Structure 1
Amino acid sequence: MKSISAVVLSLLAVAAPVSAQQRVFPLYTEALPVCAVGTIVNLGDIDPLVMQAIEVDRRDTGGLFVYSGSPEYALEPAITYQDSFRAGDTVRVYVYHANRAPIPLRFSIVLEPLSGPAAVDKINNVITTPSRDYFGIGRLSAFIQLCRPTPPQPLRLNVDGPTILDKDLDAMVAIPGKPEFLIHTIHEFRVVSGAVRMSVVGVEADADTIQRLPSLKIADRDKNHDRATVNGLTREITAKAPYRTSDGPRHLRLQDGVGDPWMTGRDATLDREQNYRGAYGVVFKMKFRLESPDGRHVALLLNPRAGALTGAVVEESLWKTQTGGLKTVRSASHAPSIGQGLIKEKTEGVVLGKWNPAITPEVTVYWTPPATSSTPVEMILVPYTAP
């Protein structure tokens, strides 16, 4: 994998269109010994539906996750999501709305104090400009979310009255048009004292957000997309036993609602229970121990099962040193790499990592599905012979 600093330089690169004639990928058995992380390969005879599953333990950790993505297409100024939080709550808000209104819209997050003044620490954000390239900004957002460190000092906001959480988001305008411009941002904050009501809103481009808020109604959700507050910013998945190359390919399915359950919470705007299907914006932290009794190496492949995918991956490998100790090596990549287009077909896999178990006995892989992608997906561990 490339270093994080090296990959950051590629964020300004523009992915070249990939035509149907160009979408011929090498067979994984031929590609894995020589290919880079981020490469799309042909799975050949690998079929996760008839493959033995990796047995894992799962737990959701962290704070509260808010997904404001329904209605996905905003038809008019409105409140798209609203919930309340109290001191001690850490909240990550994923704003995902496209402007289908006949007028330019701005989207914003407003915090209002409940029962007296409150204090909020703004921890981090992922801001991309409104775009018609949904997969492009999904890929970029995932990379920034996984790779950018949390600032050492959060920004303190005193919430004595209605307060804009992020002025950069509040200033962005999504103009009308076809295809629609998408607002795709992620914001994280912590309530330090008091309690606040949070509203995600869409307003006219020339409106004062705070003055407009009291007159906005709550938008109806659409039937195909979720909005919810759920417990957990990270889903930690740990394999119960080491993966052995002599066992052949093994798979781990994510976000099918069965083997990997939906995150559960509530739609606070309707005060009802709600599943969060897809867990978009949630970080999947997957930990594997690796063994190679036959001397082969291991690759981790991401395989789509419901449509196109793009995103990023961060990998932490535990390496054996020459002195017999262990050190952690962290690296990041686009998945797929820029220039390859999207991974689309059930017969395709993108390489998320490659390891030699004799040197790297343990790996932790961080991956997050942008809301522009489709789930479920398969994670497949595959043995291969190194050159």
Structure 2
Amino acid sequence: MKLKRNLIAVTLLSFGLSSSGQQLTKQQNLDLLKAEQGAIVRLDNFLTEKYPQIVYQKYPTPGPQYIISDDPEYIRVPEAIALRENVVPGTVRFYLYNVNGVKEPQKMDRKIIAIIKNTGKAPMRIKMLKYVSQPPSTNYFKLGKEGLAAFLAAQPSEDIVLVKPGEAVPLDNKLENYVVKYDELVHGFYEFLVDQPAEITVLQTDLKTSGKEALKRITNVLPPKTKSGAGRGIYGVSNYHVNNTEVIDTKNGTSALIVADGATDPWIIGREGTTGQQAKLAGNYGVMYNVELKWKSTDGKGLALITWNSRSADNQWCSGMAAAMKVSEGKFKEGIIQLPKDQLVTKAAPEAVLIQIFKPKANGEEQTIKLTYSPPGASCLPTPLILVPIDVNP
């Protein structure tokens, strides 16, 4: 299939200094060089949302069918179905993000379970390609950051689960045993292969009822488009490739790559299975961005890649930011890094989080920075990726 390349219309200010006309001070330069990967570094009077933005092109690449269960985020009734979607044979990515929100008639312990049913005519084989299951918690930042890091690192299982036609099994057996207290988040991230059509259901029930029994008993499906949650449904886009259209040169100063902002990078569109209506995933959570940025140094400087919580002033829910991504080799080895690494969240400016430092080639030769990024669950968006020229030999 021919992929349509979508050139994002990002306004590019002239590459130079940051819009405030500032560069790193000598002390800030040294602080970044001394910092460990993933550490928080104070950059007073430097961080801004007004950096020149990197013009990029973005296009979908082949990937799995994508399902997310995050609308309603808070399941307010004791028993209900929060999501029901059908998938065709092939690979499926599934992001579970639901909270026990029962307050009436009283707060009560619940189970939130994902069930997969074989709707085909032959036995269905399920092979887990990526599996992340975490105990429920009210620490949403921790679940989001650690869950994403674990998903990026996950490897395929050798086990095959067989399901007879018409039968249903838990997608994640651990969910059957977790006790979900009021306000606790159930956070699971999965990618799996099925060879028959299947139905995926997320439901909330009491502690004594198994998922299979609850599936037979519960019929009420909660409506989507509630006041909380990013969205739910099935989406045809699960992976993007992103690359800059003009080579970054350190002589032109600081610049920013902004994805998952809902404006220059629109939210993906899909379908909500129980109503048949169009669905929008506000946040593109669970979508994988494979980023390649070309850069060079004509002034002998390197590049520091940093991020920060640019949305801290928006509301109380944006008071912290925690992320994870895979980054190519630079001063530090290639690998997956939690951001920040030395504490749970970064709060606001002047806090910046160091992702990587890239050294220049002696002859100014062009290089490529590679990132695997996904919008971090529980954090407000966007999470800007800032490229700062840095003197690597001060």
Equivalent residue in structure 1 for 2:294, among 276, 289, 313: 289
Structure 2, unpaired ranges of 5+: 1-25, 312-317
Corresponding residue for residue 351 of structure 1: 354
Match of 1:17 in 2: none
Alpha-carbon displacement from aligned partner over 1:146-187 (angstroms, at most 9, x marks no partner): 123334x353433421222221222212123xxx22111112
Give per-residue Cα distances to partners, 1:320-342, cap 9 Å, x unaligned.
xxxxxxxx963222210133x41
More strand by share: 1
CA distance in 1, matches of 2:287, 2:99: 21
* 1:173 equivalent in alignment to 2:175: no
**3-state SS of 1:174 partner:** coil
Residue matched to 2:86: 84
Question: Per-residue deviation at 1:118?
Answer: 4.4
2:378 to 346, 366, 372: 372
C-alpha displacement at 1:371, in angstroms?
1.9
Whether the 8 Å contact between 1:174 and 1:183 is mirrored in structure 2 is yes
Secondary structure at the aligned position of 1:219 is classed as coil
Is the Cα–Cα contact under 8 Å of residues 60 and 231 in structure 1 kept in the other structure? no
The answer to whether 1:241 aligns with 2:242 is no
Residue 357 (structure 1) shift: 2.8
1:210-289 matches, within 5 Å, as 210-216=212-218, 217-221=220-224, 222-225=226-229, 226-289=231-294
Offset of residue 81 of structure 1? 0.6
**Is the alpha carbon distance of 1:136 and 1:259 closer, same or farther for their aligned partners in structure 2, counting shifts above 3 Å?**
same
Distance 1:229 1:28 in 2: 45
1:123 touches 1:155 (CA, 8 Å); kept in 2?
no
Q: Distance in 2 between matches of 1:295 and 1:172?
A: 54
Paired position in structure 2 for 1:33: 33
1:316 aligned residue:
328
Does the CA contact (< 8 Å) of 1:110 and 1:198 recur in 2?
yes
Any conservation in 2 of the 1:231–1:265 contact (CA below 8 Å)? yes
Offset at residue 28 of structure 1 (A): 4.0
Rate the CA distance shift 1:169–1:238 in 2: closer, same or farther, 3 A: same
CA contact (8 A) 1:147 1:314 kept: no
Give the AA of the match of 1:189.
Answer: F
Shift of 1:117: 3.0
Give yes or no for contact 1:142–1:369 (8 Å, CA) kept in 2.
no
Q: Deviations over 1:284-336 (max 9, x none)?
A: 221112211111110111132322210222112389xxxxxxxx963222210
Aligned to 2:144: 138
Cα distance between partner residues in 2 of 1:159 and 1:59: 38
Deviation at 1:283, TM superposition (A): 2.2
Structure 1 window deviating more from structure 2 (352-361 vs 368-377): it is 352-361
Residues 117 and 103 of structure 1: is their aligned pair in 2 closer, same or farther, counting only changes over 3 Å? farther
The structural deviation recorded for 1:48 is 4.9
Q: Give the % identical residues.
A: 22
Which residue number corresponds to residue 170 of structure 2? 164
Verify: 1:330 aligned to 2:331, yes or no.
no
Tell me which residue corresponds to 2:6. Answer: none
Q: Could you say if the C-alpha distance between residues 167 and 354 of structure 1 is closer, same or farther in structure 2, counting changes exceeding 3 Å?
A: same
Residue 50 of structure 1: how far off its partner (Å)? 3.0
**Measured at CA, do residues 159 and 234 of structure 1 come closer, stay the same or move farther in structure 2, by a change above 3 Å?**
farther
Q: Which amino acid aligns with 1:124?
A: K
Contact 1:70–1:80 (CA under 8 A) maintained in structure 2: yes
CA distance in 2, matches of 1:32, 1:223: 41
Residue number in structure 2 paired with 1:98: 99
Which amino acid letter does the alignment assign opposite residue 172 of structure 1? Y
Task: Report SS of the residue matched to 1:354.
Answer: strand
Instruction: Return 328-337 or 214-223, whichever deviates more.
Output: 328-337
Is contact 1:264-1:276 (8 Å) kept? yes
C-alpha separation in 1, matches of 2:278 and 2:27: 45
Conserved? CA contact 1:124–1:154, under 8 Å:
no
Q: Name the amino acid aligned to 2:209.
A: A
Look up the equivalent residue of 1:362 and give its one-letter code.
T
Calculate the TM-score normalised by the size of structure 2: 0.81
CA contact (8 A) 1:27 1:42 kept: no
Letter of the aligned partner of 1:211 in structure 2?
E
Residues 197, 65 of structure 1: alpha-carbon distance in 2 compared, 3 angstrom cutoff = same
Distance 1:333 1:282 in 2: 18
Shift of the 108–385 alpha-carbon distance from structure 1 to 2, 3 Å rule, reads: same
SS of the equivalent of 2:176 reads helix
Q: CA deviation at 1:85?
A: 1.0
1:369 offset after TM fit, Å?
2.7
In the aligned structure 2, how far is the partner of 1:208 from the partner of 1:169?
Answer: 10
Distance 1:370 1:186 in 2: 12
In the aligned structure 2, how far is the partner of 1:118 from the partner of 1:262?
A: 36
- Show structure 1 runs of 5+ residues with no match: 1-25, 320-327
CA RMSD of aligned residues (A): 2.4
Q: Give the total of aligned pairs.
A: 347
